[in-house]
Amino acid sequence: TRVFWRSTVSDAAIYREWVTNVGRRDAYARMAHLLCELIVRLRSVGRIEDHVAHLPITQAALGDALGLSTVHVNRVLQELRRDGLISSVGSRFRASDWAGLVRAADFDSIYLHQRAAQTGAGF
């Protein structure tokens, strides 16, 4: 029962954060927030290698998740690259400036309930 309750509380926190993400943040901050969350989650399960994440996701899927057109997704990703916050080659993604990405997203990983997620270590 305790595990189920903790899982439910965690899911509710994630849903609240996503309502905020889609409802209050601009496209740049939304994308930065999604990337921060993906990095934290991938790190927690050991899927970050040499500070690089493998993200086999299309711009259309990113747009669907964020409520953006694929054209807008492309522009936002270009802007994040131009600002030096991210770099990517194919499906391999790196947060070049973790602290900057966190600031751009106004990201606080506490809602993910993962102790190791707090520091952003490795980026």
Between the alpha carbon of residue 122 and those of residues 22, 52, 117, the distances in Å are 27, 9, 10
Domain ranges of the chain: 2-118
Mean pLDDT by 10 residues, the chain (123 residues): 64 56 80 92 85 91 94 98 95 94 90 56 46
**What local confidence, expressed as pLDDT, does residue 22 receive?**
60
**What local confidence, expressed as pLDDT, does residue 41 receive?**
86
The token pair at 11 is 């899911």
With vertex at residue 111, the alpha carbon angle to CA 105 and CA 112, rounded to the nearest 5 degrees, is: 95
Closest CA to 18 of 70, 69, 66: 66
- 2-118 maps to which CATH number? 1.10.10.10
Report, in angstroms and rounded to the nearest whole number, the Rg of the chain calculated over CA atoms: 14
